[in-house]
Amino acid sequence: MKNFKTSLLSGLVAFTLNSTSTAFAQETTTGTNGTLYEPAYFSQYAPRTALDMINHIPGFSLQFGDNRRGLGQGGANIIINGARITGKTNPRDQLSAITAPNVVKIEIVDGASLDIPGLSGQVANITTMTTGISGTWEWNPEFRKGLEANYGQGSVTISGESGNLSYSATLKSRSFRNGHRGLERQIAADGTVFEHRDEDGQYYGDRPSIATNFTWKPKPDHIGNLNLEYALENFNGRQISLQTALTPRGSNDQTLFSDAEDEKNYEAGGDYEFPTGPGKLKLIGFYRYETSPSVSRFDVFGPTGQTEGDRYNSLANEAEAILRSEYSWSPKSGRDWQLGIEGAFNYLDITASLFEYDPATQIFVQDFDLEGANSRVEEKRAETTLTHTRTLSPKWDIQASIGVEYSEISQTGDTNLVRDFMRPKGFVSTTYKPGSSLTIRTKIEREVGQLNFFDFISSVSLQDNLNRTGNANLVPEQSWLGEIEFDKKFGQGNTFKARFYGELISDLVDRIPVGFDGDAVGNIDSAHRYGVDLSATVKGDQWGWNGTQLDLTLDLRQSSVEDPLLFFSRRLNNDKKSFALAVFRHDIPDTNWAYGGFYERYLQTGSYRLSTISQYTFSKGFGSVFIEHKDVFGLKVKASARNILNGTDDFRREVYDNRRDIGQLERIEDRSREFGVFYRLEISGAF
C-alpha cells in the first residue's frame, strides 16, 4: 500500500509538471501572501454569484464547518471582507446571496497567516462592495424515470444598499424527487435463495425557506451583521416489497413501509465589532430552533389481509443558543492575539410512542415497554481560548491556541442523570513557503467532538426491525490530529496538493453492546485512522486546447478499532475508504458554449451491530455530462444527463439469530436497486 501511494503521488506530480501551460488569464496575481483573482478572470464562465466564482478557482475546494462544536475556532474556509461567516450558516448559501457584480476580488491565502483562530490550509477572502440593487435567480427542474418531475428546485436573491446598511434576501426552494427499484434476495446460511423481494422506494422532500442578511457600518471600524432564516421541511417516503417464496421457508406477503416528517426551522445569528482599548471587541450571538413531528408505519399483508403492523410516532424539539465574545489586539506588525470566551446551551426533547397491530381486533395497541424513548437531554457548555498568530519571517507563519472547555450534560424523563466534563483543547499550525510556488502546511490539534443528542434516547427502526437503545453515559469523542500538506503551483493555473493526516481517537463514538441484547451508540476506548488526500488541476492550453480544465481528486483512508463484541481489529463503522473524482470542463473560446462532465466513486466501510453486519455500495460510480450556453436571451442554460453509467444502490446485510459472538448466521439480505439515467436543467439569470 505504501509503494502504491508513493507511485501514485509521484505520477500525479509528474503529470502536473508536464501540464504547465504557457497562456493563462492575466487577471490573476500570485505573491507571497497568496493568489489574487480579479473579476475579469471569471468572465469566461459568466458567473451569477460568488459561489459560481469560487467553484472555478483552480485547486481550491470549498470546505464546510457547520458540524463544528460551537462558534469558536475553525469553520468554513471562506471569509467575507476579512471576517468569518456569522453563525453556522451554510457557506454555499452565503456565497449564493452575493451577486457576481458585487465581488471586487477574491484572494486565496493561508489560514495560518490570518488573525482568525482555527483556519488552516487555503482560505478564500472575498472582498465585496454593494452598488445599487441587484439580484439573481435560478431554476433547476429535474426529471427521473417513474417519478414525479421535480419543478420546485430554485431560488431568487435580491441585494442592495441604503446609506450605511447593506442587505440581501433570498427565497429558496430545495426539493427532491428520488427513488429506486430492484430485486432483493433472501439467502439462507447454506447459500440457498429462499425468497425474492421485488422492491420499489420513493422519497419526496420539499424545503422552502427565506433568509435575510444585513450588514451595518454606523461609523469607521464599527460593523454589525445580522442573519435570519426561516424554513419549512416536508418529507414523505415509502417502500413497497412484493415477496415471492422460492422454498417453504419463504413467504408470499406484501410489506409497505412509509415515513413522514414535518419540520419548522428558525435560525438567527449576529455579531457586532468595535474598537476597545488597544484592540477590537466582537460580540457574537446565535440561536437555532427546530421542531420535527414524524411518523413511521410498517404493515404486512397476506393473502387474506393485514397480518402485522407497527406505528412509531415521535416529536423532537431541539434548540441551540450561543453567546461568544472575542477580543483581538496586535501589539506590533506580524503579531496578533485573540482571547475568546463562549457559553452555550443545547437541548433535545423527544416524546415517542409505539403501537402494534392486533389481528384479532384489527386495531393498533400501544406498546408500553418502549423504555428510554421519552426524554430530554441538555448541555451547558463554556470555553475559553487564547490564540496567537505570528509571522516569524517572510517564509514562516505560525498560529497557536490553547483552551479549556467545561460542559454539563443532563438527561431527564425515562432516564435521569447529570454529568460534567473538563476538556483541554488547542492546536499549533504552521505555514512554510520555501519559494513562491510551494507552500508546506502543518497542523497538530487536540479536538473535542460534538455529541449527537439523539444517541442518548432510545428509538425504533420499523423498516429494519431493529431497536436502538439510548445511552445516557455517552461522553464526547476526543482526538489528537496531525497533518502535513504540500501545495505546489506550476504556473498558469496548474496545481497539485497532497495532504497526509493521522488521528488518534479516544472515547470513539460507535456502536456497542449494552447489557445482553441491547444495541446502542456508545464509546470505545481508542481507535485511529490515517490517510492521504491528493488533488490536481490541469489546464489544456499547452496542447492548444484553450479553455479546458481537468480537476482530479483521490482520497485514501485506513482506520482501525477493536470490535467491542468479538475483539478483532476492524475499520470504523461507515467510514470513508476511498473517494475518486475527475471533473472536465471546456469553455470554447470566442463562443458562449461549454461542455464537460464528471465521474466520482465513493467507497465506505461496513457497519457492525449487535446481530448484523451491513454494507452499502454504489456500483460503477456516478457519471454525468453537460452542455451549457451562457447567453440564451440573457440567461445561462445548462442541461445535464446524470448517472450515465447506470450505477445502482446496492446493500448486503448478514443477520444472525443472536449476538454475533454467540449466534449463528441466519440469513443474508442482498439487494440491488437501479434508478437509471436522469436529467437536470439549470437556468439562471441576473437583474
Nearest CA-CA partner of 349 in 247, 448, 456, 203: 456
Q: How would residue 338 be classed by pLDDT, with cut points 50, 70 and 90? A: very high
Residues 192-206: what's their mean pLDDT?
97
Most confident listed range (4-13, 540-549, 554-563):
554-563
Nearest CA-CA partner of 603 in 619, 590, 588: 619
Whether 114 shows a pLDDT value over 80: the answer reads no
Residue 429 pLDDT = 93
Contacts 24+ apart (CB under 8 A), 275-282: 275/221, 275/222, 276/327, 277/329, 278/329, 278/331, 279/327, 279/328, 279/329, 279/330, 279/337, 280/221, 280/327, 280/328, 280/329, 281/325, 281/326, 281/327, 282/325, 282/326, 282/327, 282/328
The number of domains in the chain is: 1
Contact call for residues 161 and 130 (beta carbons, < 8 A) = yes
From 20-29, 338-347, 366-375, 628-637, the region with the lowest mean pLDDT: 20-29
From 188-197, 432-441, 642-651, the region with the lowest mean pLDDT: 432-441
Question: 661 — alpha (psi -120 to 50), left (phi > 0) or beta?
Answer: alpha
User: Strand (E) positions, 121-222?
Assistant: 122-128, 134-139, 142-143, 154-162, 165-188, 193-216
- What is the per-residue pLDDT across 379-393, written as a single tens digit (0 to 9) for each? 999 999 999 999 999
Kind plus residue range of the DSSP H or E element containing 14: helix 2-17
Location of C-alpha cell 470555553: 383
Contact call for residues 643 and 675 (beta carbons, < 8 A) = yes
User: Is the Cα torsion angle 413, 419, 420, 424 positive or negative in sign?
Assistant: negative
Whether 217 shows a pLDDT value over 50: the answer reads yes
Residues 50-61: what's their mean pLDDT?
88
Residue 87 pLDDT = 66
Q: How would residue 96 be classed by pLDDT, with cut points 50, 70 and 90? A: confident
Whether 91 shows a pLDDT value over 50: the answer reads yes
Residue 2 pLDDT = 38
- What is the per-residue pLDDT across 256-286, written as a single tens digit (0 to 9) for each? 999 999 999 999 999 999 999 999 999 999 9
Nearest CA-CA partner of 215 in 266, 170, 269, 287: 269
Contact call for residues 537 and 59 (beta carbons, < 8 A) = yes
Q: What range does the domain containing 232 cover?
A: 2-686
Whether 672 shows a pLDDT value over 90: the answer reads yes
Residues paired with residue 659 on neighbouring β-strands, in sequence order: none
Contact call for residues 580 and 556 (beta carbons, < 8 A) = no
Residue 67 pLDDT = 57
Residue 5 pLDDT = 38
Most confident listed range (15-19, 261-265, 616-620, 657-661):
261-265
- What is the per-residue pLDDT across 496-532, written as a single tens digit (0 to 9) for each? 999 999 999 999 998 888 777 777 788 999 999 999 9
What span, in angstroms and rounded, lies between the C-alpha atoms of 290 and 316? 8
Q: How would residue 180 be classed by pLDDT, with cut points 50, 70 and 90? A: very high
Q: Mean pLDDT score of the chain, rounded to an integer?
A: 89
| C-alpha cell read off for 10 | 509521484
CA distances from 109 to 32, 86, 428 (A): 9, 20, 18
Residue 35 pLDDT = 86
Residue 505 pLDDT = 97
Share of the chain above pLDDT 90, in %: 68
Whether 32 shows a pLDDT value over 60: the answer reads no
DSSP assignment letter at 235: E
User: Strand (E) positions, 362-458?
Assistant: 363-367, 375-393, 396-413, 417-435, 438-448
Residue 74 pLDDT = 61
Residue 88 pLDDT = 67
Choice between 472 and 216, residue whose per-residue pLDDT is larger: 216
Residues 383-406: what's their mean pLDDT?
94
Neighbours of 545 (CB within 10 A): 13
CA distances from 428 to 218, 388, 390 (A): 36, 10, 12
Contact call for residues 402 and 426 (beta carbons, < 8 A) = yes
Nearest CA-CA partner of 439 in 399, 395, 482, 398: 395
Phi and psi, residue 336, nearest 5°: -130, 145
Nearest CA-CA partner of 311 in 299, 302, 301: 299
C-alpha 480: how far from its chain's center? Answer: 21
- What is the per-residue pLDDT across 289-310, written as a single tens digit (0 to 9) for each? 999 999 999 999 998 899 999 9
Contact call for residues 109 and 34 (beta carbons, < 8 A) = yes
Show Cβ contacts of residue 422 under 8 Å, excluding neighbours closer than 6 positions. 404, 405, 406
SS3 annotation, 478-545: EEEEEEEEEEEEEECCEEEEEEEEEEEEEEEEEEEEECCCEEEEEEEEEEEEEEEEEEEEEECHHHCC
CATH number at residue 259: 2.40.170.20
Whether 226 shows a pLDDT value over 90: the answer reads yes
Helix (H, G, I), strand (E, B) or coil at 116: coil
Residues 250-255: what's their mean pLDDT?
96
- What is the per-residue pLDDT across 558-603, written as a single tens digit (0 to 9) for each? 999 999 999 999 999 999 999 999 999 999 999 999 999 999 999 9
Helices (H) then strands (E): counts for the chain: 3, 37
Residue 27 pLDDT = 60
From 168-177, 456-465, 493-502, 562-571, the region with the lowest mean pLDDT: 456-465
Contact call for residues 487 and 439 (beta carbons, < 8 A) = yes
Whether 185 shows a pLDDT value over 50: the answer reads yes
User: Strand (E) positions, 189-278?
Assistant: 193-216, 223-245, 254-276
Whether 1 shows a pLDDT value over 60: the answer reads no
CA angle 210–215–220, rounded 5-degree value: 180
Kind plus residue range of the DSSP H or E element containing 96: helix 91-96
- What is the per-residue pLDDT across 607-636, written as a single tens digit (0 to 9) for each? 999 899 999 999 899 999 999 999 999 999
Share of the chain above pLDDT 70, in %: 91
What span, in angstroms and rounded, lies between the C-alpha atoms of 299 and 463? 10
Residue 469 pLDDT = 67
Contact call for residues 487 and 122 (beta carbons, < 8 A) = yes
pTM score of the predicted model: 0.87
Q: How would residue 77 be classed by pLDDT, with cut points 50, 70 and 90? A: confident
